[in-house]
Amino acid sequence: MSLAASGISIRFGGLVALNNVAVSVSLGEIVGLVGPNGAGKTTLFNCLTGVAQPQEGRVELEGQNISRLRLEHRVRLGIGRTFQTPRLDLAGSVTEAVMLGFNPRLRQSMFGACLPFSPARKTEEELSARARALVAEFRLAADPDSPAGELSLGHLRLLEVARALASEPRYLLLDEPAAGIDDVDRDLLAQTIRKAAARGLGVLLVEHNVGFVADLSHRMVALVSGEVVAEGKPADVVGDPHVIAAYLGVQHVAA
Amino acid sequence: MSRDVKLWTAPAVVVVGFIVVMLLGLVRPSLHTTMFTIGLYALIALPLGLIYGQGGTISLAQGSFAALGAYTSAILTTRYGISPVLSVIPAMLLPAALAFVIARPILRLPELSLALVTLSLGTVIAVGLQRGGDFTGSYVGLSGAPPLPIVGKNPVLVAIALWTAVLIVVVLYSHFVRSARGRALNAIRVDRLLAEAMGVNVPFDLATLFAVAAAIAGLAGWFYVHAIGYIAPDSLNAETSANILFMVVLGGRRAVLGPILGAAFFTFANDFLPGAETHGLFFGTILVLILLLSPDGILSPQALRAMRRLFADRSAKPSVRPAPIADATEAVR
């Protein structure tokens, strides 16, 4: 049971962003995808989520080809994601922002949504209670009705994770979740990711910060200039000369 | 409980406001026809408030969709002897069908292009009606449409019938914005990629609501033609569409009651202002002032929050909030 991309190639004009890349994540596994800026991490992430279409290669979910499915279909199939830059209505409340996360699992008709005294009203009560529980669990805000715009960047990133988890995904794809957040929030984030994996979710982490990923993941994949240069146990990948060279420069390895 | 109160605030305000003005109409009967005009504009403007204020999708075709509904009903009732009770269905379905078909290609356009495209759509409809020969009554239009069923020509009953329709739309709108589908529409306004990541079929949702907005405009057109008895190409046209957008923006595009407030302001101002040629100057100045002072209109979320705070019991909820960190909100913009 896995979400797997294989033979992925993408070119933007003459620039080869990804060249025959394969990456996979199984249920219950935390996979860290690392690489320096411009390595193609986000492009690969976009291929997995359905935002970008690769020119070659395929993406499979539990053995089924989902390469041609759009983002909204993949989300409904259980591939949840977060955004590198939090995307939400900053004027809306924290609870409402989390409640949006339930949408992929809901089958609500436009008609039912408009009607008073319809089942949609009861659903609304339930979703609100569940969203408030998530707000409390992630310690997002003391007042769940406060505007999301008042949250710190760290809390906005946690909110993105809470919202993605609200859609009950089987695979959780996180785009740079730890960038720019403080140690307390980072620990809470790490705990959350471990807990999610323990519950059987497959987690793919795209991160710039190698230390954070190495601590957390079961397996790491290092991407440099659009190619996989190392893959395996975190300790091996972190110690791999190609990875060190990519991060610190070739001279360092030679010396 | 507080959730239910929120759901029924707007409909309650509409009912109370309507009753007050109609009672004042006992002293000043012209208010009954004024109420009809406001209700008509409100009915066309409300769904625009939904798709523009909640969905971020502008339209300058609402007036023309209303004209389409009015003409459909006028032609069916005067030429084919169909009762207005039945002609209301095609009067709503025809604009809706047209809107649904054109929605998919155009609703992905950015705001300004979308405004221009929907405006030209209105022009195409207007030209079609003018050049329709005897079938549409050409430049003269169509007269002799039968009065509204049941309420007839009694201005009080006509106003009650029209405002019942407005009330129903307000109830449905209030519930819609507090549902998963309403949040999905809100997400489309904030960011389409976010909406897609939340499993929203953006083109379908927008096309459906665009069609619903056209259908409600068509219903307003039906009220118009059967209350007044005739329809001409310039009764409901691109200028109406522009005025409708003005009402939505002025009244507050994010609030359910915004379009109604805008419609009331526009109608009363039109009645009290001398000389039609100065109206443009007046409305233009008002619009610029409002947009400078409160970009979301008179009933902006900020204004509503301030009002709620005024009425809320302060001792009930201690407002402990994490300190706002300015650069976090900066970073995500």
Residues of chain B contacting residue A129, judged by C-beta atoms under 8 Å apart: none
- pLDDT at site B314: 52
Residues of chain A contacting residue B327, judged by C-beta atoms under 8 Å apart: 153
The per-residue pLDDT for range A179-232, each reduced to its tens digit, is: 888 888 899 999 999 999 999 999 999 988 888 999 999 999 999 999 999 999
Q: What is the pTM (predicted TM-score) of this model?
A: 0.89
Enclosing domain of residue A175: 2-90+155-254
The interface residues of chain A toward chain B in range 140-169, judged by CB-CB distance below 8 A, are: 141-143, 146, 149-156, 167
pLDDT exceeds cutoff 90 at B136:
no
The per-residue pLDDT for range B260-287, each reduced to its tens digit, is: 999 999 999 988 887 777 888 888 898 8
Is the residue at A24 inside a domain? yes
Residues of chain A contacting residue B189, judged by C-beta atoms under 8 Å apart: 89
Quick one: pLDDT band at residue B327, thresholds 50, 70, 90? Answer: very low
Residues of chain B contacting residue A86, judged by C-beta atoms under 8 Å apart: 332
Question: Are residues B196 and A75, on separate chains, in Cβ contact within 8 Å?
Answer: yes
Report how far apart, in Å, the C-alpha atoms of A2 and of each of A31, A164, A170, B290 are: 12, 19, 10, 55
Angle at B38 between CA B117 and CA B183, to 5 degrees: 55
Is the residue at A216 inside a domain? yes
Is the residue at A182 inside a domain? yes
With an 8 Å Cβ cutoff, is A49 touching chain B?
Answer: yes
- Interface test with chain B among A110, A138, A163, by most B beta carbons within 10 Å: A110
B243-259 core/surface letters (b: 16 or more CB in 10 A; e: else): bbbbbbbbbbbbbbbbb
What integer is the mean pLDDT of B136-145?
A: 87
Contact criterion met (CB below 8 Å) for B270 and B151: no
Question: Are residues A72 and B197, on separate chains, in Cβ contact within 8 Å?
Answer: yes
Is the residue at A59 inside a domain? yes
Is the residue at A28 inside a domain? yes
Tokens of A116: 């008073």
B211: exposed, middle or buried (C-beta count within 10 Å: 0-12, 13-18, 19+)?
A: buried
pLDDT exceeds cutoff 90 at B179:
yes
In this prediction the ipTM stands at: 0.91
The interface residues of chain A toward chain B in range 50-79, judged by CB-CB distance below 8 A, are: 51, 70-72, 75-76
Whole-number mean pLDDT of chain A? Answer: 91
With an 8 Å Cβ cutoff, is A83 touching chain B?
Answer: yes
pLDDT exceeds cutoff 50 at B329:
no
The enclosing domain of A235 has a CATH number of 3.40.50.300
User: For residue B56, which of B219, B170, B251, B202 has the smallest C-alpha distance?
Assistant: B202
Dihedral sign computed on CA atoms, order B312, B315, B320, B323 = positive
Rounded Cα distance, A141 and A152, in Å: 10
Tokens of B19: 């009753």
- pLDDT at site B108: 87
- pLDDT at site B281: 86
- Those residues with Cβ within 8 angstroms of residue B70's Cβ, 6 or more apart along the chain or in another chain: B91, B221, B222, B224, B225, B231, B235, B236
Quick count: other Cβ atoms within 10 Å of Cβ B328? 21
- pLDDT at site B324: 44
With an 8 Å Cβ cutoff, is A90 touching chain B?
Answer: yes
What integer is the mean pLDDT of B185-189?
A: 95
- Interface test with chain A among B2, B175, B253, by most A beta carbons within 10 Å: B175
Helix axes B30-48, B2-27, angle to 10 degrees: 150
pLDDT exceeds cutoff 90 at B178:
yes
Q: A172 vs chain B: nearest CA distance in angstroms?
A: 12
Tokens of A49: 């989520």
Q: A238 vs chain B: nearest CA distance in angstroms?
A: 30
Quick count: other Cβ atoms within 10 Å of Cβ A234? 20
Report how far apart, in Å, the C-alpha atoms of A241 and of each of A23, A207, A250, B115, B201 are: 20, 19, 9, 57, 45
What integer is the mean pLDDT of B90-110?
A: 94
Question: Are residues A90 and B173, on separate chains, in Cβ contact within 8 Å?
Answer: no
Is the residue at A145 inside a domain? no
Is the residue at A131 inside a domain? no
Rounded Cα distance, A203 and A29, in Å: 6
B103-113 core/surface letters (b: 16 or more CB in 10 A; e: else): beebbeeeeee
Tokens of B323: 């300190």
How many domains are contained in chain A?
1
Contact criterion met (CB below 8 Å) for A97 and A159: yes
What integer is the mean pLDDT of B139-159?
A: 91
